[in-house]
Structure 1
Amino acid sequence: MNTAARQHTLWDASTPRRLIHLLDRRDPWLTRTGVFLLLLLVPCYLASLFDPRLFEGAGVWVKPMKFQLSVGLYLLTVAWFMAYTRPEFQVSRRRRWLSGMLVTAALFEVLYITLQGALAQASHFNESDALHSFLYSLMGLGAVMLALMVGWQAVEIAGHRKPRLPIVLHWSIAWGLLLTAVLTIIAGFTISTYQSPIIGLPRSEADGIWLFGWATNSGDLRVAHFLGTHAMHIIPTTTWLLIRISTNKAGLWLGFTLLTFIAAWVVTYLSALAGSSFLPFV
């Protein structure tokens, strides 16, 4: 492996303290909000130990914790990748606007879901009255903004290659962010159209896959939504691991990763629409 590939700084933070320091330098708004959302996991987890209430077959604190973890990591990842945008963009008003939109959307989304979980009420698809219909609409708008902002970051990164970052990793980051934006919006709008992520049987997380709650006996659009949301993690990480095997085929590894990922997303998306489990052996 060549020196540039060994020395790139994509994942060089060796301790949590150093990692947070690096992230805070890259984007303090996103970093502190991301850390705040992750810290929310602590009281919610403690509450789950003593709260026996269930909603749709799962503990009332399960959904808030999943969103706190997912959105917290989402913001921290965007903060990390901010270093790969153009230097003038990093100090510009446009960057602050991008970060501000992400922070606003993320805080509303997660805090509302946490509140509704505490009340043992639905957050998504809750149109029981005018207020909840309005808040659900705001959630949809916030979700779209979360996706669009990382799409914007993808464009900014694509237009500026950091000299010390291998070109294959540069494009893996840009493609990962772009796919997150596009695929998340597609999956999200499809779920909104069906007014449920479950297709085929009544919704319940009681018999779902551990941790994720994905249905195993019907179609579940949350699988495609999850893959789309985390393309920003899966594409760069997989590419980085593969090029450690052979740097001479770095471009092929990126192409392989992209094609495999897109194929997996299409399979999970279409199987959900067909009302079938994404796991053929279940």
Structure 2
Amino acid sequence: MKQFHRVVIYSVLVLFAVYFLLPLIVMLFSSFKDLGEIRSGNLIMPPESPTIEPWIKAWGEACTGLNCDGVKSYFINSFLITVPAVFLASAIGAINGYILAKWRFRGSEVFFAFMLLGCFIPFQAVLLPMAQTLGFLGLANSLPGLILVHTIYGVPFTTLFYRNYYVGIPTELISAAKLDGAGFFQTFYKIVLPISTPIIIVTVIWEFTNIWNDFLFGVIYSGPTSQPITVALNNLVNTSTGVKEYNVDMAAAMIAALPTIIVYIVSGKYFLRGLVAGAVKG
């Protein structure tokens, strides 16, 4: 009976996994088909004569509005935005979490509560104030402006992650470092940071995915030369110069999705481990 229950459970899990992955499978298969096979074939069937032409065209030849140079430059823009924003938001969040967990001050809990409000403020509520701020700083329609926006919006989340993780670190460890003469940053770099790998992985995955997949901030605060891949993908899908090339659209969508997929594959096993760290005290 126990074996039967296990078979049923795994069968249901496999069924849900296939159902969840079906859109990705359709995208992947369609990106390697020519238009004739897409029109006449079954979407969920693998390509009969695989071709990489849709990928080549999506990368360097497809039209995204008036520009027909593919998504290459936008893909690079997304990296130029995402990598610095992830680093800055994670670094600031780590310091904030360290202070709020182990170097508490009068009113620190109130400060933390107000910072958490940033996790629940919808994007639409900050569009106009952020636009005014970027204009005042001279960063409107630029890559540094988008980096600043994503860093600011990411800090509340990263602070929450790091603070909850650092609460689980024994306070005696920090006290011992203080007795040995270690200061604030020395304790952080020599003791706390080396044992923070799980939560760093969680934060990087979370921030990378959110920033890379963002469309709203990208379409509003970017200029013609600073648009991220999500904006280019939208422009590509909505641009028509004759026959609609669904295979090129699917290839572009796969190109846009590849970095986040790779991040999850490489470091996904640490995600859940770090996410629940600090959830139970003891």
TM-score (norm 2): 0.31
Structure with greater contact order relative to length (CA < 8 Å, sep ≥ 6): 2
* Rg comparison, structure with higher value: 2
**Which structure is higher in helix share?**
2
